[in-house]
Amino acid sequence: MRSLATRVDEIVVLARRNLIQMRRRPALLIFSIIEPVLLVLMFRFVFGGAVDTGVDGSYADFMMPGILVQTATLGAVTIGSSLARDLHGGTLDRFRSMPIARASVLAGHTLAGLVRSLVVLLAMVLTGLLVGFRPSGGPLDWLGAISLLLLVAFAMAWVTALVALLAGGVEMVETLGLSLLFPLTLISSAFVPVASMPGPIQAFAANQPLTAFIDAIRALLLDQPVGTSAGRAVAWTVAICVVFVPLTAAAYHRSTRR
């Protein structure tokens, strides 16, 4: 228990370090909010009148859960960029000389990224309310939706962390991260019904992880039957972590031994 408490203290201190860096670089947080806000406005007013969702309610109600999941997913790229900056800037070499568990460094970056994601997601919800988003879910529904958003951000953080440890620098992490994750958010149920897609793309969209998260969060926020989507979302989180956490830990171990 004493060792566990020490590790928790390490994670909190390292997360606080990353949050302080974010406070000293406010432009990074501001631009992290501006980009999703522009997406909300673009999809609501440019595509909103052309997309037939096939369900009751406005397009704002349909698209906002998708944009929230997209924001949480792409926000994980910032975690990878922060880790890459520490790796190639020599900070991880300094940590290696201290009595700090290697896992605490990765967990500290992830925790700080989740806090940042909460701030950005709050800005997205407020923007959505301004453009017609009218959620009907209760407090427990919102708690479940927020929990799923944090789960998808947590899972994707390990993906981008692995990219950061294998790539050549911050720019490469951002390029590869967006190249991998952005198409995943588009080929999903985020902005159009999956049933409107052609056969092979429809099959992929219906069975990929982000669609499960989007469907579950949409059902919770709009007070609709959740069905099996929440269970599938949790199962995808476990599967992603089972695969990427050991790979990331191994890559971090190799990187800090150089």
pLDDT given for residue 115 in this prediction: 84
- Domain span at residue 219 reads 4-256
- Give residue for tokens 């070499």: 93
How far CA 121 is from CA of 4, 19, 214, 243, in Å, comes to: 31, 16, 14, 27
Q: How confident is the model at residue 183 (pLDDT cuts 50, 70, 90)?
A: confident
Judged by DSSP in three states, 198 sits in coil
Assess whether pLDDT exceeds 90 at residue 211.
yes
Contacts of 57 (CB under 8 A, 6+ apart): 134, 222
74-90 confidence digits (pLDDT tens):
888 877 777 777 776 66
Q: What mean pLDDT comes out for the span 177-206? A: 86
Q: In the chain, pLDDT over 90 holds for what percent of residues?
A: 18
Tokens of 224: 């609709």
Q: How far apart are CA 23 and CA 95, in angstroms?
A: 22
Assess whether pLDDT exceeds 60 at residue 1.
no
Lowest mean pLDDT among 29-43, 167-181, 191-205: 167-181
CB 148 within 8 A of CB 230: yes
pLDDT given for residue 53 in this prediction: 66
Lowest mean pLDDT among 33-47, 89-103, 189-203: 89-103
Q: What mean pLDDT comes out for the span 25-39? A: 76
Number of domains the chain is built from: 1
Assess whether pLDDT exceeds 60 at residue 217.
yes
Lowest mean pLDDT among 18-27, 197-206, 239-248: 18-27
CB 176 within 8 A of CB 167: yes
Task: Return the closest-CA partner of residue 246 out of 88, 102, 78, 83.
Answer: 102
65 or 90, which is more confident:
65
119 or 93, which is more confident:
119
Mean pLDDT (the chain) is: 81
